[in-house]
């Protein structure tokens, strides 16, 4: 908690960190309590059971609290476990610790609630606000994001504010770290292929100037899976699965994640036959792909490496081959046929789930969007040394990026470029916001976003793409029934099912439920495409078709009179959206 609060720009005091050897403990704690504006009484089952100086520290805090103006000081009981708040009071002023609302730091929303309290007190009292809210403090500004980076506090840094709770360190579970990759072995400080003999290592470097979201949980999951399956293969376990797919929408960082996996030390140790990253090209067949790989290895090692040499090595030692951006089933099959080996593990990045349909043994890991906290923390990195910083503009920029890694990457490059010409963070962020509002072409002048989406749209026929765009009239939080899609696309129900299945396998829609026959659109793809004027015009006509279908079939003269004869799932959907679309249609005349 101490270090998280420091990251948020506050100035906490912790005896084990801020006291010097030889100082009088009682005097220093008393001085710190009197100087503090917010007092946190950290409580655990062990600390509340102790007598003596622990209880005395609590009472010192209550006395300091009671002696001040109500608006100039606050005390917050912080429960570190499911303990009972002790009966500690200040009789003269009728104050009792149990009467003050506590926060449970051991729950998932605990630190978020604590930050909200600190921000509230700073806005509504004489308490000074934290000068620089940074990456860990943004929960409050995001309006309720429930996950936050919390680093495990080691045995040397137990919390001891308002009581000795050294037996109750704060532990945290699931988190993703935001990191500038400048001190890890991701190919930034060493050659992509070490100048040694076997094992071969051929993995592209990550850009030295880029920011990356280091998805520690995802990396750990992938690494563990690859190593487990490799060891099964070595033991000739019949349950081995040699194919692992990373699947997700365009621009979600699948390739970067795969490279990060390759650079993990445990991967290099396990796959003694080599680690190879193949950037798949649709212009080459499987044999040509591996010949190209051999040419790159030969150039790096200043020797002539033949495909047969590699295949022999893969048969004798565990090897990892990454196939990046595989688009078709035929392409995957041709690559697997060439490099097939009992000891080879394959890591495959793709936007198309269909490529695995003929394979019996495979596993797919779905890559998810960033959290709002990760986006804000990454955007904060270029300005981490700026003392005077307005976080509100950064929040506005984050809201425009839809938690989409590709958009975030483009924004970070623009921020870095502008920062070379200006030292004013607000001006720099404002320029990027204005670029986005003026149009995506100005914001992304290299059209990386459009090119990335186009690669996915290439899988669709013109009619399929049009029908996909038809769905964008509905927001991404809605379960859209197949029957409604049939009405607006004029497709038979079975064709709708086939279309939605294809869209889902291409990661163009968020989810599909065949049981309930509904889909949800992807929020970031929808919001991005709605910036296109042609699509906006298309959706005006789609909305008209949607409204008029029910007016004509059920002779509606008002959006309030939806008949109960409409199928249940469809009626449930219409009750949520029809009135809004009806009003939009009438206003368009």
Q: Taking the domains of the chain in order of start, what are their residue ranges?
A: 2-157, 201-366, 372-450, 460-587
The pLDDT of residue 184: 38
Residue 327 CA neighbour count, 13 Å, CB half? 16
- The residue count for the chain: 589
Task: Retrieve residue 358's tokens.
Answer: 């003929």
The pLDDT of residue 189: 35
Coil, helix or strand at residue 204? coil
What gap in Å lies between CA 434 and CA 152, rounded to an integer?
Answer: 39
What gap in Å lies between CA 362 and CA 290, rounded to an integer?
Answer: 22
The C-alpha torsion from 253 through 256 and 258 to 262, rounded to 10°, is -160
Which is nearest to 81 in space by CA: 58, 102, 59? 102
Alpha carbon 306 to chain centroid, angstroms: 41
**Residue 199: is the preceding peptide bond cis (ω within 30°)?**
yes
Beta strand segments in 497-576, E: 509-513, 518-521
Beta bridge partners of 42: 78
Alpha carbon 154 to chain centroid, angstroms: 25
pLDDT in tens, the chain (589 residues): 776 676 566 778 877 777 788 888 777 877 777 777 788 888 887 777 765 555 666 666 666 655 554 444 578 888 888 888 877 766 554 667 788 888 888 787 787 788 888 777 765 554 444 433 333 333 343 333 333 233 222 222 222 222 222 222 222 222 222 333 333 344 433 333 333 344 678 888 775 444 556 677 888 999 999 999 999 888 888 777 889 999 988 888 888 889 989 988 899 889 988 888 988 876 677 677 777 777 777 665 556 667 777 777 777 788 899 999 898 888 888 888 877 778 889 999 998 888 888 887 889 998 888 777 778 878 887 887 776 667 788 888 888 887 778 888 888 888 888 887 777 888 888 888 888 877 766 677 778 788 888 888 888 999 999 999 999 999 988 999 999 999 999 999 999 999 999 999 888 998 999 888 999 998 878 888 888 889 999 999 999 999 999 988 888 878 888 888 888 889 999 999 999 999 988 887 6
φ, ψ at 357 (rounded to 5°): -60, -30
Asked, colleague to colleague, whether 2-157 and 460-587 share their fold, the answer is: no
What gap in Å lies between CA 249 and CA 510, rounded to an integer?
Answer: 9
Beta bridge partners of 201: 275
The CATH architecture of the domain made up of 2-157 is: 3-Layer(aba) Sandwich (3.40)
Contact by Cβ (8 Å): 525, 508: yes
The pLDDT of residue 391: 78
What gap in Å lies between CA 533 and CA 141, rounded to an integer?
Answer: 32
Letter string b/e over residues 14-33, b meaning 16 or more CB atoms within 10 A of that residue's CB: bbeeebeeeeeeeeebbebb
Alpha helices of 382-424 — where are they, by DSSP H?
Answer: 391-401, 405-419
Task: Retrieve residue 236's tokens.
Answer: 């000739």
What's the CATH number for 460-587? 1.10.10.10
Contact by Cβ (8 Å): 4, 136: yes
Coil, helix or strand at residue 500? helix
Contacts 24+ apart (CB under 8 A), 459-466: 459/327, 459/352, 459/502, 459/506, 460/502, 460/506, 464/499, 464/502, 466/538
Contact by Cβ (8 Å): 254, 248: yes
The pLDDT of residue 196: 39
Contact by Cβ (8 Å): 241, 362: yes
251: left (phi over 0), alpha (psi -120 to 50) or beta: left
What gap in Å lies between CA 276 and CA 260, rounded to an integer?
Answer: 13
Could you tell me which residues come within 8 angstroms of residue 517 by beta carbon, excluding any fewer than 6 positions away? Answer: 481, 482, 483, 497, 569
Beta strand segments in 225-335, E: 243-247, 274-279, 319-324
Using only C-alpha atoms, the chain has a radius of gyration, in whole angstroms, of: 29
φ, ψ at 338 (rounded to 5°): -70, -45
Coil, helix or strand at residue 189? coil
Alpha carbon 506 to chain centroid, angstroms: 20
Please name the helix (run of DSSP H) or strand (run of DSSP E) that holds residue 103, with its range, or none.
strand 103-104
Contact by Cβ (8 Å): 518, 567: no
> What is the CATH topology of the domain spanning 201-366?
Rossmann fold (3.40.50)
CA dist list (Å): 517 to 477, 503, 570: 16, 14, 10
The pLDDT of residue 492: 95
Which is nearest to 585 in space by CA: 554, 542, 530? 542
Contact by Cβ (8 Å): 121, 130: no
What gap in Å lies between CA 175 and CA 214, rounded to an integer?
Answer: 10
């Amino acid at each position: 908690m101490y270090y998280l609060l420091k990251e948020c720009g506050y100035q906490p005091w912790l005896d084990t960190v801020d006291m010097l050897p030889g100082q009088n403990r009682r005097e220093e704690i008393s001085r710190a309590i009197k100087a503090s504006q917010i007092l946190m009484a950290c409580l655990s089952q062990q600390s509340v059971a102790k007598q003596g100086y622990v209880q005395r520290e609590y009472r010192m805090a209550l006395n300091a609290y009671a002696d001040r103006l109500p608006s100039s000081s606050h005390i917050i009981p912080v429960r570190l476990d499911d303990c009972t708040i002790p009966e500690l009071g200040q009789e003269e002023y009728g104050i009792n610790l149990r009467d003050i609302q506590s926060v449970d730091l051991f729950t998932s929303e605990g630190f978020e609630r604590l930050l909200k309290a600190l921000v509230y007190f700073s806005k509504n009292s004489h308490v000074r606000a934290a000068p620089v809210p940074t990456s860990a403090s943004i929960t409050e500004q995001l309006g309720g994001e429930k996950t936050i980076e919390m680093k495990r506090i080691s045995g040397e840094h137990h919390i001891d504010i308002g009581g000795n709770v050294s037996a109750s360190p704060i532990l945290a579970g699931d988190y993703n770290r935001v990191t500038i990759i400048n001190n890890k072995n991701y190919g930034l400080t060493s050659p992509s292929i070490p100048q040694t003999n076997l094992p071969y290592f051929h993995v592209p470097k990550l850009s030295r100037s880029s920011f990356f979201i280091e998805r520690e949980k995802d990396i750990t999951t992938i690494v563990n899976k690859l190593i487990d399956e490799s060891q099964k293969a070595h033991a000739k376990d019949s349950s081995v699965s040699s194919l692992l797919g990373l699947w997700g929408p365009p621009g979600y960082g699948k390739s970067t994640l795969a490279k990060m996996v390759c650079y993990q030390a445990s991967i290099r140790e396990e796959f003694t036959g080599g680690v190879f990253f193949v950037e798949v090209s649709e212009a080459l067949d499987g044999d040509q792909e591996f010949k190209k790989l051999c040419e790159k290895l030969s150039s790096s090692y200043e020797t002539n490496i033949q495909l047969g040499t590699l295949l022999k090595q893969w048969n004798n030692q565990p090897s990892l081959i990454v196939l990046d951006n595989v688009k078709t089933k035929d392409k995957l099959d041709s690559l697997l046929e060439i490099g097939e080996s009992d000891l080879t593990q394959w890591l495959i990045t793709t936007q198309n789930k269909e490529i695995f349909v003929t394979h019996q043994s495979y596993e797919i890991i779905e890559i998810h969007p960033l959290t709002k906290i990760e986006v804000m923390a990454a955007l904060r990195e270029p300005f981490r040394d700026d003392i005077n910083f307005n976080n509100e503009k950064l929040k506005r920029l984050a809201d425009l990026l839809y938690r989409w890694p590709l958009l975030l990457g483009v924004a970070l490059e623009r921020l870095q470029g502008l920062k070379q010409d200006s030292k004013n963070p607000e001006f720099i962020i404002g320029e990027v916001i204005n670029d986005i509002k003026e149009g995506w072409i100005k914001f992304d002048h290299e059209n990386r976003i459009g090119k990335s989406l186009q690669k996915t749209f290439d899988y669709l026929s013109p009619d399929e793409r049009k029908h996909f765009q038809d769905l964008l009239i509905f927001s991404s939080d809605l379960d859209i029934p197949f029957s409604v899609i049939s009405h607006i696309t004029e497709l038979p129900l079975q064709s709708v099912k086939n279309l939605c299945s294809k869209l889902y396998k291409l990661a163009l829609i968020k989810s599909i439920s065949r049981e309930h026959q509904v889909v949800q659109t992807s929020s970031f793809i929808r919001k991005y495409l709605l910036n296109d004027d042609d699509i906006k015009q298309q959706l005006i006509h789609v909305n008209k078709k949607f409204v008029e279908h029910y007016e004509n079939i059920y002779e509606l003269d008002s959006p309030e009179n939806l008949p109960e004869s409409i199928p249940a799932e469809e009626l449930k959907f219409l009750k949520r959206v029809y009135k809004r679309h009806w009003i939009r249609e009438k206003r368009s005349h």
